[in-house]
Amino acid sequence: MTQIKENSTRNFNKATSPCPVTYAINKIGGHWKPIILYQLMSGPKRYSELKRAIPAVTEKMLIQHLKQLQDDNLVIRKAENVVPPFVTYFLSEAGEDLTIVLNAMAEWGIRDSKRHLKSA
């Protein structure tokens, strides 16, 4: 039945990579995670605020990645038990620590796009 190999590269990857960059990628590597985290850097946000802040993301992706970020202890979800629901997301301590990374990424992005304007 076209089994997947026990020792496939895929399994090996997830298992034990001592590379800290690999470790980080596995936590913030999704296409949307850095963007979500970047939005949360400016403070707690409601679900609907995040959706508005990132128009390109679908509800499915937003929820899915928010869940993964919670599982990885980067984001904390706080829900008031009221009607209508009031749910806010904010960075955990580990999430706050990513500020340096995300800012570096953002700065590089700006610098690199400028570089291409010049050479164009």
Partner DNA sequence: CAGAATCCTATACGATACTG
Partner DNA sequence: CAGTATCGTATAGGATTCTG
Q: Interface with DNA by CB under 7 A: which residues?
A: 2, 4-5, 8-10, 13, 30-32, 46-49, 56-61, 63, 65-67, 77, 79, 84-88
The dihedrals phi and psi of 25, each to the nearest 5 degrees, come to -55, -40
Q: Is 120 helix (H, G, I), strand (E, B) or coil?
A: coil
HSE (CB half, 13 Å, CA atoms) of 29?
A: 9
Which helix (H) or strand (E) is 46 found in, with range?
Answer: strand 45-46
Of the candidate residues 1, 4, 83, 100, the single one contacting a second copy (CB under 8 A): 100
Residues that bind a second copy (CB under 8 A): 9, 12-13, 17, 19-25, 27, 29, 31, 34-35, 38, 55-58, 73, 94, 97-98, 100-102, 104-113, 115-116
